[in-house]
Amino acid sequence: MFRAIIRARPVKQFVECRAAYSTPESIIDFVDSVAETSESQNKSFASLLRHSKFMQLGDFNGRLVVGKIAQRIQDDLYIDFGLKFNAVCKAPSVGSESYRSGARVLIRLLDPELSERFLGSNKDLTLLEADAVLVRLLSNTNIARKPKVPAEKEADKPEIPAE
Amino acid sequence: MSRVILRNFIRNFSSASATVPRTATTTVTQPDSTTLQKATVQPTVLKPYVSKSLQNEQDLFGFEKAVHIDEMFKARLHFGHKIGTVHENMKWALYGERLGVCIFDLETTKKYLVRALNFIAHVSMRGGMILFVTSNRDSMFDVEKAAEEVNQYSHVRKWQSGTLTNTRQLLGASVRLPDTIVFMSTLTSLGESHPAIVEATKMAIPTIGIVDSNSDPAYLTYLIPANDDTPNSTEYLLRLFKMAVKKGQEERKRQQQQEPGK
Amino acid sequence: MIRFISRRSIGTTMQAASMASPMSSNSDIDSSSVRKIGKALETYLKHSKQNIAMMEKHRSEFETGKRHLAKMMSLDIHELDQKAIDRAIEYLFPSGLTDPNARPVMRPPDEILPRFQRFEFDEEGRPEGSRFFTLNPKIYGLLSEIGMKTQSVMKFYDEHVGSRNVNKNDLDVANLSGSQWITHEKMKKKLHEKFSNEMYAQILIAFENLAQLQGSSIEHKFLMEYREPLTASTGSKLFGPSIPTVQICAETNRRYAEVVTHCKDTRTTVRVFDAGKGKFNIDGIDLHDFRHLQSREILLAPFIVSSTLGRFDVNATSVSISAETPEAPNRIQKTSIGGQSSLPRAVRHGTSLCIAALNPECTEKLRLSGLLTLDPRKKERSKVNQPGARAKWIWKRR
């Protein structure tokens, strides 16, 4: 039933893709590039997925990604970073005012979906939100975009899953 | 299932299909009741009675060209839930999993999406009522707005049991029920199937459902395997549904203008 | 949109529909297979017609009944308004039932009989309104409106906070002081729809959520549509007459409040004037004319509680309630007014309500001391074969 994506691809492509995102920028611009229009009008789904940032991200745990605050309800920030669910983080007490909807923030992604299996159930229970830690503010709404932000962790060294 | 739908289709629309131009050759427009009540009747037997625009299989409204995989990809339609929550009956629509996250095969999704859009457009062309239902709190205002724009119906709140099956009691009079129900999300917040699905099945109302990897596709007539949680995805799908309804309505208007002069 | 109520018979509904719609004017459609209107609508039209016929019958019955009643009461038919009918019914069918709803009534059938649910349809039988299937379209429409306004307010605030090209006051929380959300009943009337208490609570939560947002003052007008002045409904929480509104005397230009209240068999009309000297005028009697100390204490109680001794003047007139009742025309009229304490107590209740109106700060004090609450007790009727209400004749063995 399941097709193992990873196993189906030749190893050579992994090397290519590693070269493609070796700069920290490519990870930083994650959200923007997902939203941008590409020329790939008639590309197949397989190739689209293959070259998506989602695949290039590798292991999610501890990855630094850029997100946009979609909504702020009191002190809870709902950060859209390009995957299925928004990450929910608390706004820090220092400079809380600048974390408004539309602002770009840097977050450390832990889990794209918080789900847990409880005793007695045969399915996971999902919270419908991503787990992430807010790192810092990148830019406010009015400022278009900051050119370059050095990533703090080894964002340029994604792990390749073992075959 | 398909037989029920087809019968329903005939019941609802063959009469209303007066607006659809009929061929001169077909003299019998409705099957006799014995044929319809026979349990063994196959959909193919009833095919000659169905209006002409349904008989040729082609894509009447050209949705094949309107739906693009890269747009679907950009709208994040391919993201499923975590692998731990996957429903046994949704595995067919998956492309695979990536580090515990289910990924839908958008080629499959596209096929099913086009089919569903076609159905909506045909229903709309015959003056059908379409009810948009969601239980997702984030997208409920969008769904309501979309339904209002195309002059159709929406239900985004708590489902009172018996809304479809017991209208006499609840409304004080029996009313015309919707001809199609579109579920923008099929799961309630408790993770159960929406109660309207079963009610629609009881009343033989065809349903269209956007099913995520953790949804139960049972009792839904037209499935669209796709992401139902992300706002981008819902917006994209609503846009397509709106387009389909509008196309059907335009076609209907065109046919009605033609008919008096005939 | 047409109301199908006024449509013609069911058999001709197809023609009716084609009449109503300009586009389906083609009458040459073979009517054997074409049925424009579904079964559901047909049934609805049938029920609607039956209801109209039934209502028509009851209305004509009411009219003839009115004529008979006018003759019985030897009144002119034109004099017989609803008040006169009520009085006549009370006279003709005296009833000792305590619940007013259980007593015989004669009212126009439109007021009494359950209303037939009417829907608006278009010519294809499609119900009107996109939220029709939620069963509470109006209330859910309001909830959605609140939700959308909440979103827009949040967006507005996020976009404009800190920028100079926006009015500073617009970014504030809406000022709703001195008002409160309209009651369940009023909201029902406003929306013309019934809904449960839980739904009302849900709406209030949504409203509160919108009202406490930063920048909600841009929706101030919308919020005020569903709010009412605080004083308008404080009375509803009190048992008995509510706190009256303050008026201004045209001659002396003093503020005053007037209220009608009762205690036991005494009904009083109390008028309290502001900026007075502490004078009393109760049926022409001053405070010191009451010989009993208890009466004087009762009369002064509200002034002592609100510490406004000597600030107000009190004017009161009283009548006996039992003397006014029409039920027994040949009964000897009762002339005395109340007992030693009932008149002062009735005046006390009226005075307290008026003080609460003129001096709203001490309303809570008066309410807590129980002065704003009506005393509903009445003399219990004596029973047959008994000397009093409860007392029995002395039992004696022959």
Task: Look at residue C204 and tell me if it is in a domain.
Answer: yes
Mean pLDDT (whole number) for B145-156: 93
In a shared domain, residues B53 and B77: no
Q: Which residues of B touch A44 (CB under 8 A)?
A: 69, 107
More confident residue, B34 or C148: C148
For residue A5, the chain B residue with the least C-alpha distance is: B96
The mean pLDDT value for B179-201 works out to 92
Q: Which of B79, B94, B107 sits opposite A45 (nearest CB)?
A: B107
Tell me: pLDDT of C3 over 60. no
A-chain residues within 8 Å CB-CB of C171? none
Q: Do A49 and B97 touch (CB under 8 A)?
A: no
Rounded CA gap, B3 and B5, in Å? 5
Indicate the pLDDT class of residue C326, thresholds 50, 70 and 90: low
Report whether pLDDT(C374) > 50.
yes
Name every chain C residue with its beta carbon within 8 A of the beta carbon of A101: 154-155, 158
Same domain, residue pair C83 and C41: yes
CATH number at residue B103: 3.40.50.10490
Instruction: Name the nearest CA neighbour of B210 among B198, B224, B189, B220.
Output: B224
What is the percent of chain A where pLDDT is above 70? 60
If asked whether residues B88 and B106 sit together in one domain, one would say: yes
**Residue among C226, C54, C60, C46 at smallest CA distance from C146:** C226
Q: How far is CA C398 from CA A120, B180, C385, in A?
A: 84, 89, 17
Pairing of strands B180-183, B153-155: unpaired
- Residues B128, B39 share a domain: no
Q: Are residues C362 and C252 in the same domain?
A: yes
Above 60 in pLDDT, residue C96? yes
Nearest-CA residue of chain C relative to A99? C158
A2, A124, A161: residue with CB nearest B96 = A2
| Residue for token pair 């009964």 | C331
| C228 and C253 share one domain | no
Which pLDDT belongs to residue B107?
92
Residue identified by tokens 């009093």 is: C388
What pLDDT is stored for residue C110 in this prediction?
Answer: 86
Q: What residue numbers bound the domain in which C77 lies?
A: 4-26+33-112
At A146 the pLDDT is 40
Residues 6+ apart with CB under 8 A from C62: C106, C108, C109
Contact A100 C161 (CB under 8 A): yes
C contact test, residue of B8, B50, B132, B174 with most C CBs within 10 A: B174
Tell me if B99 and A115 make a contact (CB, 8 A cut-off).
no
Q: Which chains touch C (3 or more CB pairs under 8 A)?
A: A, B
Angstrom distance (rounded) from CA B115 to CA C231: 61
Question: In chain B, what percentage of residues exceed pLDDT 70?
Answer: 87
DSSP readout, C298-345? HHHHHHHHTT-TTT-EEEEEEEEHHHH--S-TTSPPP-----TTHHHH
Residue A139's pLDDT is: 76
Cβ–Cβ contact B141 with C under 8 A? yes
Which residue is listed with tokens 């397989």? A46
Per-residue pLDDT tens digits for B204-253: 999 999 999 999 999 999 999 999 999 999 999 999 999 999 999 999 99
Nearest CA in chain A to B227: A84
**What's the CA gap between A70 and A80, in Å, rounded?**
6
Closest residue of B to A40, CA-based? B70
d(CA C375, CA C94): 26
Looking at residue A20, what is its pLDDT? 40
Is B261 inside a domain boundary? Answer: no
Q: Which of C29, C133, C194 to mutate to probe the B interface, most B CBs <10 Å?
A: C133
- CATH code of the domain containing C321: 3.30.230.10
* Predicted confidence band of residue C32 (pLDDT cuts 50, 70, 90): very low
Q: In this prediction, what percent of chain C has a pLDDT beyond 90?
A: 36
Q: What average pLDDT does chain C have?
A: 82
Residue of C nearest to B253 (CA): C23
* Residue carrying structure tokens 């859009």: B117
Closest-CA distance, B141 to chain C, in angstroms, reads 7
Nearest CA in chain A to C156: A101
Q: How confident is the model at residue C36, as a pLDDT?
A: 55
Question: What are the strands of the beta sheet with B222-225, ordered from one edge?
Answer: B153-155, B130-133, B180-183, B207-211, B222-225
Entry pTM: 0.66
Separation in Å, CA of B163 to nearest CA in chain A: 29
Give the best residue of A31, A53, A69, A113 to mutate against chain B (max B CB count within 10 A).
A113
Out of B82, B95, B97, closest to residue A126 by CB: B82
Lowest-pLDDT range, A42-46, A85-89, B95-99, C93-97? A42-46
The reply to whether C254 and C348 lie within a common domain is: yes
A25-38+59-139: CATH topology: OB fold (Dihydrolipoamide Acetyltransferase, E2P) (2.40.50)
Residue C158 distance to chain A (closest CA, Å): 6
Domain boundary among B35, B57, B79: B57
- Among residues C177, C202, C233, the one where a domain terminates is C233
Q: Using the CB atoms, write b or e for C272-302: b if 16+ within 10 Å.
A: bbbebeeebebeeeebeebeeeebbebbbbb
In terms of C-beta density within 10 A (0-12 exposed, 13-18 middle, 19 or more buried), how is residue B48 classed? Answer: exposed
Residue A59 is classified by DSSP as S
Cβ-Cβ contacts under 8 Å, A112 against chain B: 82, 101
Chain C nearest C-alpha distance from B166 (Å)? 12
pLDDT class for B62, splitting at 50, 70, 90?
A: confident
Number of domains in chain B: 2
**Two structure tokens written together for C137:** 């379209």
CB C215 within 8 A of CB C172: yes
**pLDDT reading at C34 higher than 70:** no
Single out the residue in C176, C207, C233 at which a domain terminates: C233
With a cut of 50, say whether residue B2 has pLDDT above it: no
Q: What is the mean pLDDT of residues A18-27?
A: 40
Residue C393 covered by a domain = no
Count of CA atoms in the C-beta half-sphere (13 A) of B101? 21
List, in sequence order, every residue forming a beta bridge with A64; answer none if it has no partner.
Answer: A108
How far is B148 from B155, CA to CA, in rounded Å? Answer: 11
Q: b vs e for B188-206, b when ≥16 Cβ sit within 10 Å of the residue's Cβ?
A: eeeeebbbbbebbbeebbb
pLDDT, tens digit (0-9, with 9 covering 90-100), for B11-59? 444 444 444 444 444 456 777 788 777 777 777 788 778 777 777 767 8
Chain C residues touching residue A97 (CB < 8 angstroms) = 161-162
Q: What is the distance in angstroms between the Cα of B225 and the nearest Cα belonging to chain A? A: 15
Is the CB of A3 less than 8 angstroms away from the CB of B95?
Answer: yes
Is residue C364 located within the same domain as residue C254? yes
* Chain B residues closer than 8 Å to C148 by CB: 141
The rounded mean pLDDT for chain B is 84
Half-sphere exposure of B201 (CA within 13 A, CB side): 14
User: What integer is the mean pLDDT of A7-36?
Assistant: 41
> Highest-confidence range of A57-66, C305-314, C331-340, by mean pLDDT?
C305-314
Question: Strand, helix or coil at C350?
Answer: helix
Is the pLDDT reported for residue C202 higher than 50? yes
Tally of structural domains, chain C: 3
Residue C91: name the closest of C109, C106, C77, C111 by CA. Answer: C106
The answer to whether residues C294 and C266 belong to one domain is yes
**Residue pair A142/A104 in contact by the 8 Å Cβ criterion:** no
B168 pLDDT above the threshold of 50: yes
User: Are B134 and B180 in a shared domain?
Assistant: yes
Q: Which of A4, A8, A150 is nearest to A66 (CA)?
A: A150
**SS3 label, residue B190:** coil
A101/chain C closest Cα distance in angstroms: 6
The pLDDT of residue B173 is above 50: yes
- Are B73 and A49 inside 8 Å of each other by CB? yes
Q: Give the residue with greater pLDDT, B147 vs B22.
A: B147
d(CA C320, CA B255): 80
**Nearest chain C residue to B164, by CA:** C133
> How confident is the model over C142-163, as a mean pLDDT?
88
Q: What is the pLDDT of residue B186?
A: 92
Q: Which among C233, C265, C288 is the end of a domain?
A: C233
d(CA A149, CA B4) in angstroms, rounded, equals: 60
Q: Is the ipTM of this complex over 0.90?
A: no
Instruction: Report which residue type is found at A44.
Output: S
Q: Say whether residue B178 is in contact with chain C using an 8 A CB cutoff.
A: yes
Mean pLDDT of B165-182: 86
Q: What average pLDDT does this structure show over C370-380? A: 91
For A114-154, the pLDDT digits (tens) are: 888 888 888 888 888 899 999 988 876 554 444 433 333 33
Inter-residue contact C173 to C217 (CB < 8 Å) = yes
Q: Are residues B9 and B78 in the same domain?
A: no
Domain encompassing residue B229: 63-253
Same domain, C347 and C276: yes
Q: Which residues of B touch A85 (CB under 8 A)?
A: 229-230
**Cβ separation of B260 and C131 shorter than 8 Å?**
no
Looking at the structure, tell me whether residues B36 and B163 fall in a common domain.
no
C252 shares its domain with C352:
yes
Minimum-distance CB partner of B70 among A35, A43, A59: A43
Which chain B residues contact residue C133 at CB under 8 A?
131, 153, 155, 163, 178
CA-based nearest residue in chain B for residue C24:
B256
Residues of chain A with C-beta less than 8 angstroms from the C-beta of B94: 1-2
Count CB atoms within 10 A of the CB of residue C367: 17
Interface contact A100-C155, CB threshold 8 A: no
pLDDT tens-digit profile of C122-143? 777 788 889 999 988 999 999 9
List phi, psi (to 5°) of C70. -60, -40
Of the two residues C160 and B95, the one the predictor is more confident about is: B95
Of B105, B107, B229, Cβ closest to residue A84: B229
Degrees, nearest 5: CA angle B144-B149-B151: 95
Q: What is the enclosing helix (H) or strand (E) of B81?
A: strand B79-82
In this prediction, residue B5 has a pLDDT band, given cuts at 50, 70 and 90, of very low
Query: Does residue C287 sit within a domain?
Result: yes
| Closest C-alpha to B106, from B236, B18, B193, B254 | B236
CA angle B101, B105, B110 (to 5 degrees): 135
Which residue of chain B has the CA closest to A162? Answer: B99
Taking an 8 Å cut-off on Cβ atoms, the answer to whether B99 and A161 are in contact is yes
Q: Is residue C117 one of the residues assigned to a domain?
A: no
pLDDT level of residue B3 (50, 70, 90 thresholds):
very low
Highest mean pLDDT pick, B3-7, B51-55, C393-397? C393-397
Alpha helices for chain C (secondary structure H): 13-20, 39-72, 82-92, 109-112, 137-160, 184-191, 197-211, 220-225, 293-305, 321-324, 342-358, 363-368
Closest Cα to residue A106, out of A58, A158, A55, A152?
A152
DSSP-derived secondary structure for B131-167: EEE---TTTHHHHHHHHHHTT-EEE-S---TTTTT-H
Q: Is the pLDDT of residue C276 over 80?
A: yes
**C-alpha distance from A137 to closest chain B C-alpha (Å):** 23
Looking at the fold, whether C351 and C251 belong to one and the same domain comes out as yes
